[in-house]
Amino acid sequence: MTLHVAVLPGIHVTRRVFTPADLERLCALAGKVTLNEAEGNPTPERVKQLIRGADVAITSWGCPPLTADVLAEAPQLRAVLHAAGSIKTVITPDCWERGMDVTGAAGVLSKGVAETALGLTIVSLKNIWAIREHTRTNGWWGFQSDPVRDRIREMFGTVIGVIGGGHAGRHYIKLLRGFDVQVLLSDPTYTAAQAEELGAQLVPLEELLAAADVVTVMAPEIPATYRLLNEERFRLMKEDAILINPARGSIIDEEALIRHLKRGRFFACLDVTDPEPPEPDHPLRTLPNVVLTGHIAGAVNNGLKQIGRFITLELERYTHGVPMEGRIDPDRLSYLA
């Protein structure tokens, strides 16, 4: 299949997500490639110029919505490959009305989220954050007992609660299979059989919060998840539980969380806040039982190149008539971040 592919992001974004080798491979797959070589995010007018005559468009961060006005310049456009996470800032109802194939790299980004969550799970249970400071002045473990080392827990017999079974939640649960832990999943889109097949037990959110030693937030940012974890639900959590949020800050009622953290009820690892970043004097920056990681859970630096590799492979699948792995089902948009 000979295709005209329009690469719409500014060149600074394209360089961040594509290696030279993958960009070269992408060009070899297409009969013609129109590459946006300008710095900065493209305007709708610039996108109109780039997209003319294209069969496939590659979008990413900074691209404007593909409205009917923009799409009018590309009547034969049949597929959009989004080299970023959420498609909702780019894909419009006009795209779906055309019956376009749309794919995105959210699954790629979510692997980094899941891997980061696993790392935070292990080091938090192990109480590494406090031990790091303790060993500066208070010697070694040597099988001694003290308040810091007594809080060490292992990935054995612990209960891990996962809120949300999307891309990140699924991958996190798969990673947990390597440990002797019990995994609880709360997700209204799952059946009990689907959860069991993944390696988890499907339970209501309240039951998960009451039972879990570690609560990991993997839910999408949609109206139904706004302030999902609030005062009432924080009260259900175990004393000394660990809360990990690599998803979105809006899912947590931060004022309620801070009240519980100030009472020392549990420990929180937050990759995201609402808003971001928190003010310099925000309690989350000073409380001793909080770790802020500054929104690095998804792919960063060299990890971004996974996106370009994935999109290149998606184009290859598309050219060979093979279903794209990241294809978006428009009927499931309400569940997507």
pLDDT tens digits, one per residue of 180-203: 999 999 999 999 999 999 999 999
pLDDT of residue 1: 66
Q: What does the buried/exposed string (b/e) look like for 255-269 if buried means 16 or more CB atoms within 10 Å of the residue's CB?
A: ebbbebbeeebbbbb
Ordered mean pLDDT values, 10 residues apiece, the chain (337 residues): 92 96 94 94 97 97 96 96 92 94 93 96 95 83 82 95 96 97 97 98 98 97 95 97 97 98 96 96 96 93 94 96 92 70
Could you say which architecture CATH assigns to the domain 4-104+301-335? 3-Layer(aba) Sandwich (3.40)
Note whether 36 and 43 are within 8 A (CB). no
The neighbour count for residue 236, using CB atoms within 10 Å, is 17
Find the Cα–Cα–Cα–Cα dihedral 228, 234, 240, 243, rounded to 10°.
10
35: its two tokens: 């590459």
pLDDT at 309: 97
Give the pLDDT of residue 9: 97
Contact 212, 200 (CB under 8 A): no
pLDDT at 337: 63
Gap between the Cα atoms of 198 and 113, Å rounded: 18
Write the CB contacts of 220 (distance below 8 Å, at least 6 apart in sequence).
164, 166, 247, 248, 335, 336, 337
* 109 contacts 88 by C-beta, under 8 angstroms: no
Instruction: Tell me the fold of 109-292.
Output: Rossmann fold (3.40.50)
Residue ranges matching CATH 3.40.50.720 in the chain: 4-104+301-335, 109-292
d(CA 90, CA 80) in angstroms, rounded, equals 10
Hey, what amino acid is at 248?
R
| Burial group, residue 78, by CB count within 10 angstroms (0-12, 13-18, 19+) | middle
Buried-exposed string 159-182: b where 16+ CB fall within 10 A, e elsewhere: bbbbbbbbbbbbbbbebbeebebe
Supply the Cα-derived Rg of the chain in whole angstroms: 22
Quick one: pLDDT at residue 73? Answer: 95
**Cis (ω within 30 of 0) for the bond into 204?**
no
Instruction: Return the amino acid letter for 44.
Output: P
Contact 34, 7 (CB under 8 A): yes
* The predicted structure's pLDDT at residue 331: 78
Alpha carbon distance 217, 204 (integer Å): 14
Cis peptide leading into residue 42 (ω within 30°): no
- The amino acid that residue 310 corresponds to is F
How high is the pLDDT of residue 146?
Answer: 83
Tokens read off for 117: 């969550």
* CA neighbor of 271 nearest in space, from 133, 122, 129, 112: 112
